[in-house]
Amino acid sequence: MSLLTKLFNYVLLTTRQYGIDESHGMSHSMNVLHFAHNIYEAEKKNYPILERHEKIIYVSAIIHDMCDKKYMDEDAGLQNIGCFLRDKITLDEIDAVKRIVNTMSYSKVKKYGFPDLQEYQMAYHVVREADLLSAYDFDRCMLYNIHCKVHNTENENAIILNAFSDAHDLFHKRVFKHNDDSLLITDYSKGMHNKLCLDAQFRIDTWKKILQRPTI
């Protein structure tokens, strides 16, 4: 079994075990992997050290949310990741993966700034920015909000409307400002920002039209 297959099997089993919804599950891991690959390919000429850390980048991209505090105890999640990777990559690589996934979240970066991961600093930014670029998916943001609200029976008729409203607010307060907030440092990510913003805005405008339909 290839390492790639083992990694996605781990994501599948972990999402089932901890009830991780689809907004942070398999499809999100795949999207972050693709963005990480694209950033890596675009930036490795500028940062040759990335070629030494290719495996770390790919592993971190796939399993980065398998210790997310929204779904589990963060330390326990990191311990599980370490145990899973023990016979698959070196101890130094495991340590690098754990340091990357434990410091890359938007909330931690906003609170503490970028960590100093020394030789793994650019690998960190590749994975972190891949995760940021996947956040421009407006439907994914709605999905997370729907899962959070689905058990709120007091206002179950407004689940979709409220999920749209919360996602709309988050995009205008956070996602559309990624570049202005200096969260994107690679040329690839900076170049993708405007395109992804336009795609997200188009999706938002379409949702507004759908939600105004009297027949549904």
Q: How many domains does the chain have?
A: 2
Q: 150 and 94, same structural domain?
A: no
Q: 84 and 19, same structural domain?
A: yes
Helix, strand, or coil (residue 189): helix
Domain boundary among 134, 149, 169: 134
Domain boundary among 89, 104, 134: 134
Which amino acid does the sequence have at 37? Answer: H
Task: Tell me the per-residue pLDDT of 195-214, one tens digit each, with 9 for 90 and over.
Answer: 999 999 999 999 999 999 88
What value does the mean pLDDT of the chain take?
Answer: 95
Q: 159 and 127, same structural domain?
A: no
Q: 215 and 148, same structural domain?
A: yes
The residue count of the chain comes to 216
Which amino acid does the sequence have at 183? Answer: L
Q: 93 and 40, same structural domain?
A: yes
The pLDDT of residue 66 is above 60: yes
Q: 36 and 115, same structural domain?
A: yes
Residue 27, CA distances (Å) to 11, 33, 54, 84, 201 in order: 10, 10, 21, 20, 22
Task: Give, as one character, the DSSP assignment of residue 105.
Answer: S
Q: 142 and 169, same structural domain?
A: yes
Q: What is the pTM of this model?
A: 0.95
> Which residues are CB-neighbours of 186 under 8 A, at least 6 positions away?
39, 42, 43, 125, 126, 129
Domain boundary among 134, 149, 179: 134
CATH number at residue 97: 1.10.3210.10
Which of these, 69, 2, 58, lies nearest to 30 by C-alpha position?
A: 58
What would the two tokens of residue 57 be? 């980048």
- Band of pLDDT at residue 120, cut at 50, 70 and 90: very high
The pLDDT of residue 156 is above 70: no
Helix 91-101 vs helix 74-85: crossing angle, to nearest 10:
150
* pLDDT score at 215: 85
Give the pLDDT mean for 15-21.
97
Share of the chain above pLDDT 90, in %: 93
Q: 143 and 117, same structural domain?
A: no
Q: 148 and 110, same structural domain?
A: no
Give dist(CA 152, CA 158) in Å, integer. Answer: 10
Which of these, 205, 204, 203, 196, lies nearest to 177 by C-alpha position?
A: 196
Task: Tell me the per-residue pLDDT of 84-97, one tens digit each, with 9 for 90 and over.
Answer: 999 999 999 999 99
The pLDDT of residue 53 is above 70: yes
| Strands, E assignment, the chain | none
Q: 120 and 32, same structural domain?
A: yes
Query: Whole domain around residue 100: which residue ranges?
Result: 1-134
